[in-house]
Homo-oligomer: A and B are copies of this chain.
Amino acid sequence: MDFFPSALENLIDKFASLPGIGRKTAQRLAFFVISLSDNEAAEFASAITDAKETVVCCTICKNLTSGEICAVCVDTRRNSRVVCVVPDPKGVLAIERSHEFNGTYHVLHGVISPINNVGPDDIRIKELVARVSDGSIEEVIMATNPDTEGDTTARYISRLLQPFGVKVTRLAYGIPVGGSLEFVDDATLMRAIEGRMEM
């Protein structure tokens, strides 16, 4: 129902097209935006166009960057012979937060998911294979999410990389630090027992 002025309905539609935003939330956001000052609203609009225009994928690792090569790939102190494969830029952020990893990344921009019609060619797998094929990479660490799609993607890539003789590892499964044993689910506990380490 086009009850509100058409420009407002249009803005509500735009917000409602965002993932996880329903009609009611979209209304609330649109009302908030038109309650902003002219300046603030203009800044919001230009933030969208700016981000869209200036943010590109790093030519090496496909992470988001504003230059041609991202800050991680350009940093010579980092070990470019170890590549951590993450599903999306947020994965890079998560790994960086651990301050444990000094290698570089490869951002897949998705995971293989037949149910969502995402095949191996829809994500940046061939770019990873190209990076590995020139022989300068020693280890590929699969850091996809610990779910079915993440596992499938990791296993697919691992098989694809076998001919190149590169070492392929994946993040350890196990009990989360600070967690309580009684709340750990069975599958995680099983993996934690399988992967037990000597003390």
**Residue ranges of A at the interface with B (Cβ–Cβ < 8 Å):** 3-8, 10-11, 13-14, 18-21, 25, 27-34, 36, 38, 41-55, 64-66, 88-90, 92-93, 96
Of the listed residues A14, A36, A42, A93, the one surrounded by the most CB atoms of chain B closer than 10 A to its CB is: A14
* Minimum CB distance partner of A46 in chain B: B45
Cα-based distance from A10 to B45 in the complex (angstroms): 11
> How would you classify the secondary structure of chain A's contact residues: helix, strand, loop or mixed?
helix
Instruction: Tell me which residues across on chain B come within 8 A of A46, comparing CB atoms.
Output: 45
Cα-based distance from A50 to B36 in the complex (angstroms): 13
Q: Are B51 and A10 in contact (CB under 8 A)?
A: yes
Closest 4 CB pairs of A and B: A5-B66, A41-B52, A11-B51, A45-B45
A6 to B: closest C-beta gap in Å = 7
Cα-based distance from A64 to B27 in the complex (angstroms): 13
Q: Are A48 and B44 in contact (CB under 8 A)?
A: yes
Cα-based distance from A50 to B10 in the complex (angstroms): 9
Q: Are A36 and B52 in contact (CB under 8 A)?
A: yes
Copies in the complex: 2
* A14 in contact with B52 given A3-B96, A66-B5 (CB within 8 Å): no
Cα-based distance from A197 to B122 in the complex (angstroms): 64
Q: Are A33 and B52 in contact (CB under 8 A)?
A: yes
Instruction: Tell me which residues across on chain B come within 8 A of A25, comparing CB atoms.
Output: 20
Instruction: List 28 A–B pairs whose Cβ atoms lie within 8 Å, in order of A's numbering.
Output: A3-B93, A3-B96, A4-B64, A4-B89, A4-B93, A5-B51, A5-B54, A5-B64, A7-B47, A7-B50, A7-B53, A8-B55, A10-B51, A11-B50, A13-B47, A18-B29, A19-B29, A27-B90, A31-B89, A33-B48, A34-B51, A38-B52, A42-B49, A42-B52, A45-B45, A45-B46, A45-B49, A48-B48
Cα-based distance from A45 to B47 in the complex (angstroms): 8
A178 to B: closest C-beta gap in Å = 20
